[in-house]
Amino acid sequence: MPSLFDPIRIGAIEAPNRIFMAPLTRARATRDHVPTPIMVEYYTQRASAGLIISEATGISQEGLGWPYAPGLWNREQVEAWKPVTKAVHEHGGRIVAQLWHMGRMVHSSVTGLQPVAPSAIAAPGYSHTYEGKVPYETPRPLVENDFPRILNDYERAAQHAMEAGFDGIQLHAANGYLIDEFLRDGPNHRTDGYGGSPENRMRFLTEVVDRLTATIGADRTAVRLSPNGDSQGSIDSDPASIFVPAARYLDSKGIAFLELRELGPNDTFGSTDQPKLSPEIRKVFHGSLVLNQEYTRGAAIEAVADGHADAIAFGRKFISNPDLVERLRRDLPLAPDVMKTWYSRGAEGYTDYPSASAAD
């Protein structure tokens, strides 16, 4: 059986191991959402990952409401990403861009635009803005002529990702953002062809994936789903009825890999009594399946060895352990991360975590 440390081919990408770096919003771009030089060092430090999935990267001003997060909708952003991908490749790494439309999870003080979503239902809680946290706004429901425009935004961002030197893209269809809002019946109360039945609620996902695979190829297109539990106020009453068919469709497209962020009953950030769907999804999705959410070294090794997953994506552990692959391989202690520096602006808590060899 395969090992967590064995190479794997995912679509067009040859990954040297099955320890993937999960997308991690770190807020080190400019206020105009342009990547900065410190991001080159950050990603280069983590190039030993089997695959780096970039931090969530906006496809448009409308869809990017996180302060200081990067985008991929204009030339300045493309040019600023090029040193990142070049450095990762020079250090033997692979990197894909995660494409992000936040849907209702934005605030107009950041985007300058009213949030959009399937339905006029505000998310619970508070939005990050440049002025601090403020309540989410009620979004504008998307209308018929919005969909072609947003599909064009996804296509342009995918083209820009390839121009910037990424090895592919991952479609962010999870965590309560726009596509996830369409998939789940909690935030989607539409009565047209994009709401109601699971088939209709899948429609936007299928349209986006069809466009992306036609643009850059299925073998360079991946998707992230979060099939169980509550994600920032988005939840479904019957997750299997929507996410198993969605996985079956993605299998038919031959995408590079499918990543699942699955909550458990006692997780640190979110928990749920809804069961994990990866066993059912594994039956219908025959490509590379990547699992994510609070995996320990032992659990990750076991999940790959028993065929439950083909690779494991680690998030927080990669924040504070740039050499996570080596630490896991040698079963070395892991350094803890400092939460207060996750979204700060400088090197502290970003590029100043030492490798195990440097710490010795």
Non-local CB neighbours of 83 within 8 Å, separated by 6+ positions: 37, 40
Helix H, strand E, coil C: the string for 147-208 is HHHHHHHHHHHHHHHHHCCCCCEEEECCCCCHHHHHHCCCCCCCCCCCCCCHHHHCHHHHHH
Which residue is listed with tokens 């998030």?
315
Q: Take residue 19 and report the two structure tokens written for it.
A: 């320890």
* Identity of the amino acid at 322: P
Q: Is 57 helix (H, G, I), strand (E, B) or coil?
A: strand
What separation in angstroms does the CA of 162 have from each of 73, 79, 89, 178?
12, 12, 14, 23
Which residue is listed with tokens 């997750």?
239
Contact predicate 259/292, CB 8 Å: yes
Tell me whether residue 177 is one of the annotated catalytic residues.
Answer: yes
Q: Take residue 196 and report the two structure tokens written for it.
A: 């109601």
**177, 194, 249, 353: the active-site residue:** 177
Q: Is 140 helix (H, G, I), strand (E, B) or coil?
A: strand
Give the C-alpha separation, 309 to 51, whole Å.
15
Q: Take residue 162 and report the two structure tokens written for it.
A: 């390839």
Q: Is 289 helix (H, G, I), strand (E, B) or coil?
A: strand
Query: What are the residue ranges of helices labelled H in the chain?
Result: 37-45, 75-90, 108-111, 146-163, 178-183, 198-201, 203-216, 239-253, 278-284, 297-305, 316-320, 324-330, 356-359
Give the C-alpha separation, 347 to 333, whole Å.
23
Q: Which residues are catalytic?
A: 177
